[in-house]
Amino acid sequence: MSKRNKLVKFNDLLHADNVYENFNPKSNVLTIAENKELVMKGKWNDLHFKNDQAITLELACGRGEYAIGLAKKHSGRNFIGVDVKGARIWQGSTTAKENNLDNVAFLRTRIEFIDEFFEKNEVEQLWITFADPFVKERKENRRLSALGFLDRYANILKKDGLLNIKTDSPILYYYSLDTLSEHKRFRILYHDADIYRAPFLMDDLEIKTYYEQDHLKKNKTIKFIQAQLID
């Protein structure tokens, strides 16, 4: 992508009314269209969605394909895609607007700070779809199912809330099974090392991101874990 195209997209984000950006990691203040600053923690339904529908997050959402796919399937729920890459967020935001999806928003920040922007019990489900597996062991604490991240998710999920992990990576799959089994506040409900060998557990697994389609063309197996927050 050219530098000019990136600048155009970043400028678009500054005017988008469905994208919230965090420019200061030491603060939970978010910026939306026309530099309006807001603290959204505990207020997403009141200030943005204007309803009391359940909230689902897609973490490291990339282009927001899963959040958008879920929003199309579930008009009675709210979805927020979270990623740090502005160009990816731009794509998701633009697609949501083109499809008139008012139940999707986007948050540009690092996942390490996720519990700064959501209150306890504010989120019903989390999706992690084809996240970077960080295959080198010295980087395993950066995997989105590392214990430190699970602690953050536990801080924002409702009791009995769900964490869904979809991946092509055996490393991330088995690592996630280990960390979820170790974590005292999560219980694994279901896991499958090859979801295409049998009927899907649920319709939401039918959604295919760009990466999943590419993985399937390369005959990679797609794996899935669903865990529940217990208290």
CATH number at 126 reads 3.40.50.150
Residue 4 has pLDDT above 70, yes or no: no
Q: Which two tokens stand for residue 60?
A: 């490291």
Annotated catalytic residue within 17, 46, 132, 160? 132
SS (H, E, C) 128-161: EECCCCCCCHHHHHHCCCCHHHHHHHHHHEEEEE
- Exposed/middle/buried for 231, CB within 10 Å: 0-12, 13-18, 19+? exposed
Looking at the chain, list the stretches that DSSP marks H as alpha helix, in order from N- to C-terminal side: 3-15, 65-73, 86-98, 147-156, 170-182, 210-217
Domain enclosing residue 214, as ranges: 3-229
Asked if 51 and 43 count as a contact pair (C-beta separation under 8 A), the reply is no
Q: How far apart are CA 93 and CA 12, in angstroms?
A: 10
Q: 192 pLDDT exceeds 80?
A: yes
What was the pLDDT predicted at 57? 98
- In whole angstroms, what is the distance from residue 230 CA to residue 19 CA? 31
Burial of residue 83 (number of CB atoms within 10 Å: 0-12, 13-18, 19+): buried
Looking up tokens 């090392």 gives: 193
Please give the tally of structural domains in the chain.
1
Average pLDDT along the chain: 94
Angstrom distance (rounded) from CA 101 to CA 95: 9
pTM to 2 decimal places? 0.94
151 is catalytic: no
Whether the CB-CB separation of 60 and 83 falls below 8 Å is answered with yes
- pLDDT tens per residue across span 54-109: 999 999 999 999 999 999 999 999 999 999 988 889 999 999 999 999 999 999 99
**pLDDT value, residue 3:** 52
Instruction: Report the distance separating Cα 98 and Cα 76, nearest Å.
Output: 19
pLDDT at 191: 97
C-beta separation of 186 from 156 below 8 A = no
Per-residue pLDDT for 1 more than 80?
A: no
pLDDT digits (tens, 9 = 90+) for 16-66: 899 999 999 899 999 998 889 999 999 999 999 999 999 999 999 999 999
d(CA 230, CA 109): 27
